[in-house]
Each structure stands twice: as C-alpha cells, then as structure tokens.
Amino acid sequence: MAMPKGYITNININQDKVGFPRRQEILDDISDRGTFLPRGVLEEDMDQTFLEFLKSDERMSLSIDGEKVPVIFLTIQRWTEFSKTWQFSDKYKNIELPFITVVRKPDIQQGQNQAGLWNIPANHTYTYMKVPTWDGVRRGVDLYKIPQPTSVDMTYEVRMFTNRMKDLNKFNRLIQRAFQSRQCYISVNGHPMPLHLESIGDESNIDDFENRRFYVQLFEMKLLGYILDEDDFEVIPTTNRGMTTIEIQDNRIYNNIVIEPLRVGNTITYSFIFKPQANTTFTFVCPYSVNFTQITDIDNISRIVISVNGVGVFDGTIMSSPIIVNSNDSVSIRVYKNSLTLGGFKIMGNTT
C-alpha cells in the first residue's frame, strides 16, 4: 500500500544529549577501544574518515535512481592515466556518469584547531588518566600520559561529475544543508573534528574527456584536524606503596600539673611542675597548717599569684612576708609562663 505524499517514516524519537552528558559521551567515544588511552590519529585516518563521510554519512551520501553514486579517492595524476584502470564504465569502455572524486592537497598546513594557539614547547606528555592497579598483594596507580596533539589543516577538493543538472542540484543541496551552520563535524577514530566548506567552483568547461559534455562542480573543504601519534603515548607505573604520617598537636592539656609535697620533720616543701600546654591555674587542699616563708627554683615562670580560700595573699616571685595556711584550707595558684615550655617552682615552710 502506497503511503500518502509527505508521509514521514524515519522520525527520530531519541533526544540528543546536551551539556555535560554530551561532553561525557564524547570522552567515552574517544576512549571506546578497550583501553584507557584514546585512539591515535594520523593523516591516513583523516583521509579515510573524510571518504567515508562522503560515501556513507546520511548527511552527504548521494543516491540517484536507487543507486549510490560512487566516490573515488584520487591522487594527483592525469585523467588519461586514471581512465586506463577505471572500473565504473559501460561495456563500450565509456566512463559512466555520475561519480564523485576526492583529491587531498598534499601541502598540509599548520592547523587552526586550537584557535591559533601554539603547543607548549619541548614535547611534554601530560596525564590523561590515573588507573588503579592491583597485583594481588598491593594496590597502585598507573599514569596514562599523552602529548599535545599537533594541529593540521587538510584541504580536500570534491568534484561532482554528471551530465544532468538535476543530479548536480541534488548534490549541491546536500552540501548546503550539511554546512548551513558554517561547519559540520566528522569523527576520526572517535575524535570530533570540524570541517569547513571553503568555496564552491565550476569546472564544466572540460571538453576533452571522451568528447562528451558534462558538468563538473568543485567543492573545496578544509578539515581542521590534528595528529595524535600512539607511539608517543606513555604508561608510567607510580609508587604502589606509600606511608602517610600525620602529626597531631593536642589542645591544651588540663590538670597536667605535678605536685610533690615533701615533709621532713617540721619542714615541708611543695614542688610544682607545669608541663607544656598545661593549665596555668589550679587549686588544691592543704592537709597541714603551714607558714610558707620562701619560694625557690623558679623556672620559666614570670609571675606567681597565690590565694587562700579565695583571698589573695601573694603576687610576684619574691616572698617578703610569710603565707599562713591552715589545715584543709583551699589554696589556688596561678602562674604566668610560655605555654610551650616546661615551668616550675618550689615553696617551703614550717608546719605548726
């Protein structure tokens, strides 16, 4: 059953990815070869992809009367030499039209793929990916490194040979649609590269080709590509065992004060030692009734303040009058010192 005119049969219901998902899709496509490294790109890869773009890509593939128009990649040579081995001919050895030829200019130019920017000198390689490894005992990491790609401009001359204007119009329409956004992209080994339509020319004045009249239209296209040689890739094993040490500095140590009372007969000596970062204020209960008369062996302490039952009785470092403490009195001491150093002093007296 024939479909009505204008009936659409190839509706695409899959929404194209945009933004970050699209960038990730491109990266996955570049690395989609079973390895963690991207695929290399050489001149022959770009030639082959460009030829497949004209032959098979839905944007450019040309069919006339149900048959695909052949696309032939040529080197620069004379037509008479090429016609001797021409495979698209009739039984009378006449070349059949239409057909498309592709000639790549041999003068490869410095590229514009990087917007005119130059590569970093010295041919360094740069980390492309870090891949965890495991040898059954230890874990490690391998560095996959690649150099900066070398930008190149490849110019292709595409010619359409036909003896019918409608065939030429059809191919021209494909070209105009493909490049209506100034450029289109082709994927060379997974690497997207822009292709520009530089000019459209006419060479239909050729009249020595089997004495036949035909149209020849020239389309000059420039591929903004780059070369990425797999021989320059590096895989570098890194240290597979490392030791990490962490130095932790504790906060101030509270109650880290040593009190050593020593009683010999009626004489009693209290030794106080303040460790680094110890609290500089502390309180203790004196079990004896004592008249303290002397402070000695002061080390790294600039000031001592003593209170008995909340009443200040001493402030300084030299004792000029006794300090009287009764049994079970609460004695508070505060010292002034560098928090990072060890400090101490002794206070001596007689029990009553």
CATH number (domain holding residue 273): 2.60.120.10
Question: Reduced to 3 states, what is the DSSP secondary structure of residue 300?
Answer: coil
Could you list the residue range(s) of the whole structural domain that residue 315 is in? Answer: 257-351
Distances (CA, A) of 334 to 253, 307, 317: 16, 9, 12
User: At residue 3, does pLDDT exceed 80?
Assistant: no
Q: Read off the DSSP letter of residue 62.
A: -
State the greatest distance between any 2 C-alpha atoms of the chain, in Å, as a whole number: 141
pLDDT in tens, 312-343: 999 988 888 889 999 889 999 999 988 888 89
Q: In angstroms, rounded to a whole number, what is the distance separating the alpha carbons of residues 266 and 260?
A: 16
* Number of C-beta neighbours around residue 98 at 10 A: 20
Does residue 251 lie in a domain region? no
Q: Report the domain count for the chain.
A: 2
Same domain, residue pair 188 and 290: no
* Number of C-beta neighbours around residue 168 at 10 A: 20
Q: Write down the mean pLDDT value for the chain.
A: 81
Model pTM score: 0.55
Mean predicted confidence (pLDDT) in 60-72: 85
Same domain, residue pair 195 and 268: no
Kindly list the strands in the beta sheet with 290-299, ordered across the sheet, starting from the edge strand earlier in the chain.
257-264, 267-274, 343-351, 290-299, 323-325
CATH number (domain holding residue 157): 3.30.2000
Structure tokens at 342: 């060890």
Length of the chain: 352
Residue 276, CA atoms < 13 Å, CB-side half-sphere = 5
- Quick one: how far is CA 46 from the chain centroid? 26
Q: Read off the DSSP letter of residue 83.
A: H
pLDDT in tens, 221-238: 999 999 999 888 888 887
Of the candidates 228, 249, 279, which is a domain's last residue? 228
Does residue 279 lie in a domain region? yes
